[in-house]
Structure 1
């Protein structure tokens, strides 16, 4: 961290141009993910790749349209996640993996960077779109985190769409569980990737939001809960620092507190930069940090947190959007299904690490 602080101080003095003014910054920005893992090019046929890229593009475009039309970051995040929850290619909603007992247990969380309001659910089995229930907990619940039957009761009271648990059944996921049991494999050996889905966004008002949805890990037992529904681990949003959605080996992301840790460090870096600026100038209304260098610093901070996850033995990745509209990716796996777009015309989806 000391090295990062030195870099911040250096940026204040060596910047070649001031940080972009508010009316020059990207008007809106969004990033999505559909899971990270050890997928390989050899196992990815052109047809399968095209299918994944198509749904990623569909989710990205839907979220981007909300923002381009002047909608909120919260609505953009929800819209993008709904498309991925409804697609069985991802381990969320329709494509959720099986528990050891052959059930589908779903988790989701969402957070609004404007006021730090948040909602989360875990272990639900009949909620068609868990991200909608998480948001309903945020807006209408007297709590932040609901689980199991209690969350299902709340969903019915709030008119959230429910389905028969058979809706979530898919043959590919069932085969993964059977293979895991027969060959005594770990969830990582069976799944090859973490199919958790998520989205982060900055809207035209400068507000940030983040959301994450998952079916957990194949063969999970004893009511296991990963990072996706845990505010601060798999999801976090704060207008003062960033919005984060994570995907990976949840136990490690929980231990590091990945989402909150990234936001906390970015906020601390901004505070340090402002303090350095105050000490160096009598015009404390602008921080002379080049926009590109600022994005590079934010990437380094994000990468540093993910490096800590790797040091503990954890795999996965994150998507991040900053108040300046920088959309960042960081992952320590061979690939991560991902995409990003902004009002400056950026629009891209990718899968493998070298893309």
Structure 2
């Protein structure tokens, strides 16, 4: 039996002090929820889904109930989930009125012969299997509406917005269960004021996430177009295949992305042996990890705090 590991992130970006405490509390809650699954002998796939759902339900994060608005003032959501035993995967993009797109992505994996459904098709699939929908306004916070209105007064590109304290970003989780199976999940509302129909890296296998029992699992966060160009998740696992540790693989891949396409971001990684890492090139990334009955977490570079969880 392996020692179970779970790592979650709440997005790599310039998190302002006003959101710092809530962001850390949110990732800790997600890690604790996922750890309950793993401590009871549950599977990695269930653990990452539960952890991401917790963050989708938390309005502090850009996923589900905290998603940012596109140019039309609408929420469009993307998500992926993948398990490493069979390379089973499911993804959705540009979906509306779905509170937990990560669970819809899992339904795509388990109930269809496809990997990704998008926009109207994804919503029609959700309706066909009885997934409950919410009103468009239910996913939009008052603060996001104000930020979006304020943004419309300025001419700033989405990449500049991502690098400012006005941006938000993706949530994700990776896990290793006691049976040696790995899984990943990633979910996002994208970048504020994105074009209608814009899809970033999050729902794409090999970019926003990847899971393979032979190598490990990754969930990425950051500037989506940059991550897509270097297929960041699979690049990290490639370096692990070449013998690098989880941290070395993520670090060199993120720096390659910065040098090659001038993109910032972060990644959480777990290997089949339980080696795990949290790496980011942005100002901050809220993260938390569960292993050996311990909860580790941080926000700033080279920062780590520790709590002991009840057995």
TM-score class normalised by the smaller sequence: over 0.9
Aligned ranges for residues 1-355 of structure 1 at < 5 Å?
27-39=3-15, 43-45=16-18, 48-187=19-158, 188-189=160-161, 192-269=166-243, 297-311=245-259, 312-342=261-291, 344-355=292-303
Contact 1:126-1:162 at 8 Å conserved across structures: yes
Contact 1:105-1:125 at 8 Å conserved across structures: yes
SS at structure 2 position matched to 1:123: strand
Residue 138 of structure 1 deviates from its aligned partner by 0.5
SS at structure 2 position matched to 1:183: coil
Higher helix share: 1
**CA deviation string 1:160-188 (max 9, x = no partner):** 22111111111221222222220212334
Contact 2:167-2:191 at 8 Å conserved across structures: no
Gaps of 5+ in 1: 1-22, 270-293
Residue 193 of structure 1 deviates from its aligned partner by 4.4
Work out the CA distance in 1 between the residues paired with 2:127 and 2:197. Answer: 22
- Greater Cα radius of gyration, structure 1 or 2: 1
Q: For this pair of structures, how many residues does the alignment match?
A: 299
**CA deviation string 1:4-46 (max 9, x = no partner):** xxxxxxxxxxxxxxxxxxx5xx51001000001123xxx415x
Shift in alpha-carbon separation, 1:222–1:164, aligned structure 2, 3 A: closer
Work out the CA distance in 1 between the residues paired with 2:166 and 2:149. Answer: 15
**CA deviation string 1:70-94 (max 9, x = no partner):** 0000000001001100011000000
Residue 191 of structure 1 deviates from its aligned partner by 5.0
- Relative to the length of structure 1, the TM-score reads 0.81
- RMSD between aligned residues: 1.5
SS at structure 1 position matched to 2:191: coil
**CA deviation string 1:248-298 (max 9, x = no partner):** 0000100100111112221233xxxxxxxxxxxxxxxxxxxxxxxx7xx33
Work out the CA distance in 2 between the residues paired with 1:151 and 1:127. Answer: 10
Gaps of 5+ in 2: 304-311
Contact 2:246-2:270 at 8 Å conserved across structures: no
